[in-house]
Amino acid sequence: MTTLNFPNGFLWGTATAAHQVEGANDNNDWWDWEQTPGHIRNGDRSDVACDWWKGERYRADFDLAKSLNQNAHRLSVEWSRIEPQEGVWNADAIAFYRRVLGALRERGMTPLVTLHHFTNPRWLAQKRAWETEAVVPLFERFAAKVVQALGDLCDFWVTINEPFVYAFSGYSDGNWPPGKKDFFLAFRVLANMVRGHAAAYHAIHRVQPHARVGVAHHFRRFVPFDPNSAFDRWAAGLRDFLANRLFSLALADGSLRFPMSLGGRVPEAMGTQDFIGVNYYFTERVAFDLRHPGLLFTRPVVPAWPKDAPPFAGEVDPRSLYLFLTECAREGKPIYITENSIFDLGDTLQVNYLVSHLAETHHAIADGAPVKGYFFWTLVDNFEWAEGFATRFGLYHLDVPTQTRTPRLSAEIYARIARENALADDLISRFGQ
């Protein structure tokens, strides 16, 4: 077995999101959603989270990241803090994010900043958020304000994190705010996110012409539950088109394909990715099922995870990451893996996942994919949306009441990989299954 060396200048980092780590974030739609019993597993709330806001523990966490030899970090800014009321800008929040980005720069780490990571200000949610095109100029204005305020500290931006996940979870599946179950409304939201991204992309470049701007896409491989069934193959293909292709195609040619609209176009969206962000976690088996018309007669087949595992439908499949990276390479843009991880069911599983997916990443690079960086999800266990604190993805275990961080074996392994800028053969032989 041979050591796999990564390109010079490769970014090694972790990814976080404001609502999941900051705490005291009580002016957005997710905070309001958490207050209703049954919305969050075990009744958890994001109250303190990782205590970045009040305790400014981001400094200590960035020290941890630096000690693991990371040279980059992906984070998000919270719209509801920066614009707590429509048209009102909070100087204290902007100063906070300047301190956060400054702390990264002081440690020699490159920041990648996400503008929208699932949460909306309460005032925007009351306007139905992304359900109407009225959100587009509001998001454009927000993007311009953030870049004007923080652009001397960052020139590397994700406009929207996982637009399909946001639209499907909140408007079709209904297990995220606003809790609606309207399949076609979900795709109207997705169309408005195409428009919002395009407007933000151009606004950022007006303020900062040299900026690198992209989207963090959630890619999930869909395979037929029964490969011999034409119906299951059709179901898997449909899911792949809706979840993996629809948004990206709109950014390529400006077309809003059905079910986003009937023949609509957003020409200003064409070519609005300076890089491609790839979030990849699992592969999902899909079956045709007449009992699920709301999902166009498709049904995910949940694998047999251990009893204490969260209810994820996916299966670990490193090869699928390779396939997505090589497909994205055809667009001729730099690629960054902006999220990749598995929840902790015991440390060996997380390490196996990390090593096997980095091996496939190297395979894709060797085959010509211009992958420039890797951001593991996440640095420290945090508030994982509807799963609360039941699902743990961190390199460090978090004891929420005491805020104690304890490293997992995955932290040690990732530190070595980042230090060596390589995946050593002994790691591959030990963990790369």
Distance CA 350, CA 320 (A): 17
The SS3 assignment for 178 reads coil
Dihedral of the CA atoms 415, 421, 425, 428 (nearest 10)? 60
Cα 324 to Cα 118, 222, 251, 272, 384, distances in angstroms: 23, 12, 17, 19, 25
CATH of the domain at 100: 3.20.20.80
Q: What is the DSSP string of 28-69?
A: BHHHHHHTSTTSSGGG---SSTT--SSS-THHHHHHHHHHTT
Taking Cα atoms as reference points, which of 300, 255, 248 lies closest to residue 278?
A: 248
> What contacts 61, CB < 8 A, 6 or more positions away?
21, 50, 52, 379, 380, 405
Cα 409 to Cα 348, 349, 350, 378, distances in angstroms: 8, 10, 9, 14
**How many domains does the structure of the chain reveal?**
1
Dihedral of the CA atoms 199, 268, 369, 147 (nearest 10)? -20
The 3 state secondary structure assigned to 77-97 is: CCHHHHCCECCECCHHHHHHH
Flag residues of the chain having pLDDT under 70. 1, 294, 304-313, 345-346, 433
Environment class of 109 (CB within 10 Å of its CB; exposed 0-12, middle 13-18, buried 19+): buried
Domain extent for 165: 4-431
**Hey, CA dihedral for 143, 148, 150, 154, is it positive or negative?**
positive
Residue burial 260-291, b: 16+ Cβ < 10 Å; e: rest = bbeeeebeebeebbbbbbbbbbebbbbbbbee
Q: What is the DSSP string of 273-333?
A: -SEEEEEEEEEEEEEE-TT-GGGTTEEEE-----TTS----EE--HHHHHHHHHHHHTT-S
